[in-house]
Structure formats: structure tokens, C-alpha cells
Amino acid sequence: MRRALFSLLGLALLAGCGNESASQSNVDNPPKVRVVQLQPASPPEWTLSGNVQARHQVELGFRLAGEINQRRVQAGQRVDADDVLLTLDPRDVTQQLASARAALTAARLQAQNAESSRQRLQSLRERDLVPVQNYDDAVTAADAAQQSVRSAQAQLAQAETALEYVELRAPTDGVLIEVSGEVGQVVAPGQVVAVLASEGEHEVEVFVPERRRRGLPEQGQVVLFGGQQRAPASLREVAGAADPMTRSWRARFAIEDDPANWPLGSSVTLQLNGNGDERDGMQQLPLSALIDKGQGTGVWHVRDGKVEFVSVELVSTRKELAWIRSGLPAGTPVVALGVHLLEAGQAVEVLP
């Protein structure tokens, strides 16, 4: 029993000597580390995929119901303003026009008859041969007949205008993106049968994720997919509400280049640099300088030959770089390699 106690005591003494030797070794030979200085950094670049759209794109439809009897254009065709694209069967409208003309002729004849009756009664009334009531009735009938003429004239004008609506014309110069109307198809008023992209400025349409919506940059670069074509782009509009399905915002960036270089419908990449509200206070450092031992992300700040743990906010990473926010000023030295081997307060040797 006594021999066992002496053995345990000896082991304890040896362990104590070992710890003291290790501690002394750490003091005499501190670990060598490389440091970097925190530098102010711009937010990282990020991209969105989109496609080229015309600044003005119009959905076209007839103002009348009817059956399409002519289709004069095809999708992708360039058209000039006032070109006829499709036409409706005009027979119904022609009959309505004939009816309106006949109604106007009848109204005029009734008005002439009513006016003649008024004039005859006026002559008899002046000689006191008819009651006043009879004359007043004649005056009222003549006025009503004139109003009927005006109504018939308005109906005729509507019928003449409707005859013009039988033809669907291009409202401006442009390219037809889509033509869905076909001969024999019966359409309702306002039903879309063609889509026209007006000539002029082109834009890129993208959908912005919810986390990127706030402070969306107003400037960027648009790159044509599969090519070297690129141009600056500026934010023109953002949808007022998120898409209920994707929870993303539709945004349009105007392409500041010749529209001929950007075919409609082309796939493009929009390159953006961070969010406008993320530029202040951001710093850049190697990704290897970050450490997380279960107490949050941080860095080892080297001060007076020793390291101390400083918590930071990780904003973004890309490849071998990280963007952070911290309470440390720019130029502060932090350990860049070997961060997992260090302890708070440990002495280190900074390599040149």
C-alpha cells in the first residue's frame, strides 16, 4: 500500500515537471505567425441572371369582337408605325354602318316633318285658330326630332370608327416579339393577339432576392452570355412588391449602349458591387484569418507580442477572401495563418 502511494506521488511530480517544462517551452519558443493588416474594402461583387427587354413593350389587341380573316405579319418581323398587322371580318361592322346611315336618314325625315307641322301650327296660332297646347306640342315634337338626328349622327360616327378598328395597326416602329392571332380565331375586345417591342432603349430585366432588395446598387455592368460584349447599366425601376411565389423583386436596368448590340431576349449577366448600405465600415482579410471556437466568429489581434480574441461580423466570403465588420481600425495586425493553434493571451513571434 505504501509502495503504491509513493508511485502515485512520483507520477504527480513528473507530470508537474512536464507542464512546467511545456509552459517554459512556450515562453522560450513562442509560435511563429504571419499577420495581415485589416484594410477597408468594397463589398464583394455579386451577379444576377436576366434577359434583354425593350424599354417599351406593348400588348396589342382589337377593340372589337370578331373573327380574324387576315394575318399579314410574323413573329420577329420589323414593322413601321401604322402598318396593318391583322384584320377582322368586316361584314358585321359594315352592316352596322349601313344601319346607322339608314337611321340617320329616317331621323332627318322625321325632323323635317315635325318642323313643317310646327310652322303650320304657328301660322294658325297667330290667327288664334288653334289652342296654345297644340302649338306647344308641335314645338316639343320638333325639338325632339332634332335631338334624334343628333343621336343618329353620333351612332353613325361610332359605326364609321368601328370600321377603322377592323384593322389592327402598329402604334409605333418596332419588332414583333409574338403574334398569337390566327386566321379563323374569334377574339374578344382587348384580347392580346400580338406583342410589339418598340424601337429605342433596351433594358435587362432581373429578379432581386429579398435579402438584396435593400440598398440595391444603382449602377452595374451587363455582360452578354457566351460573348465578350459588355456595357454599363443603370437602375431604372424596381417593382413595388415582391413576387408572391418567388419572393423576389423584378428590377430593370437600362443598358447604356447601342440597342443593336443587345438582341431582344438574349441571356445576360448583371454584375453588381455589393449593396449601397453595406459600403461603410467593411474590411477585407484572408479567409484563413477567421476563427470560430463556438463563441462566434473572430480574429486574433496581435498586441504587444500576444494575441487576443476579437469578435467580428462576417458579411460575405468569396474564394479565399472574407468581408467583415469589426471594432478594429484599419491597419490593425491580425493573425492570418495558424489561428486554430493559438490561445488567448499566448505570446507569438511575428514573422517578417
Tell me, what's the pLDDT at 91?
Answer: 93
Q: What is the pLDDT of residues 248-269, one digit of tens each?
A: 999 999 999 999 899 999 999 9
**CB-CB contact of 146 with 47 (8 Å):** no
Q: What is the pLDDT of residues 303-332, one digit of tens each?
A: 988 999 999 988 878 778 888 888 888 889
Q: Residue 116: pLDDT above 60?
A: yes
Burial class (CB in 10 A: 0-12, 13-18, 19+), 289: buried
Tell me, what's the pLDDT at 280?
Answer: 57
Q: Which CATH architecture has domain 30-42+279-350?
A: Beta Barrel (2.40)
Gap between the Cα atoms of 46 and 50, Å rounded: 13
Which residue is listed with cell 449602349? Answer: 257
- CATH match for 47-55+200-277 among 1.10.510.10, 1.10.3720.10, 2.40.30.170, 2.60.120.10: 2.40.30.170
Which 3 state secondary structure label does DSSP give 2? helix
Q: At 335, phi and psi to the nearest 5? A: -70, 135
Element (H, E) at 147: helix 132-164
Gap between the Cα atoms of 324 and 316, Å rounded: 7
Query: Region 127-156: what's the mean pLDDT?
Result: 90
Q: Which fold has domain 58-89+166-197?
A: OB fold (Dihydrolipoamide Acetyltransferase, E2P) (2.40.50)
Q: In this structure, what DSSP letter does residue 83 have?
A: -
Q: Residue 49: pLDDT above 80?
A: yes
Task: Tell me the three cell numbers of residue 340.
Answer: 486554430
Tell me, what's the pLDDT at 16?
Answer: 47
Residues 6+ apart with CB under 8 A from 68: 86, 87, 88, 89, 181, 182, 183, 184, 185, 186, 187, 193
Gap between the Cα atoms of 25 and 346, Å rounded: 12
CATH number given to 91-164: 1.10.287
Which 3 state secondary structure label does DSSP give 299? strand
Tell me, what's the pLDDT at 9?
Answer: 45
Q: Per-domain residue ranges for the chain?
A: 30-42+279-350, 47-55+200-277, 58-89+166-197, 91-164
How far the first Cα of the chain sits from its last, in Å, is: 58
**CB-CB contact of 218 with 235 (8 Å):** yes
Gap between the Cα atoms of 221 and 280, Å rounded: 22
Gap between the Cα atoms of 191 and 108, Å rounded: 38
Q: What is the pTM of this model?
A: 0.62
**CB-CB contact of 58 with 178 (8 Å):** no
Query: Region 140-158: what's the mean pLDDT?
Result: 93
Average pLDDT score, the chain: 86
Model confidence band, residue 96 (pLDDT cutoffs 50, 70, 90): very high
Q: What is the pLDDT of residues 270-284, one digit of tens each?
A: 999 766 445 557 888
CB atoms under 10 Å from CB of 350, counted, come to: 13
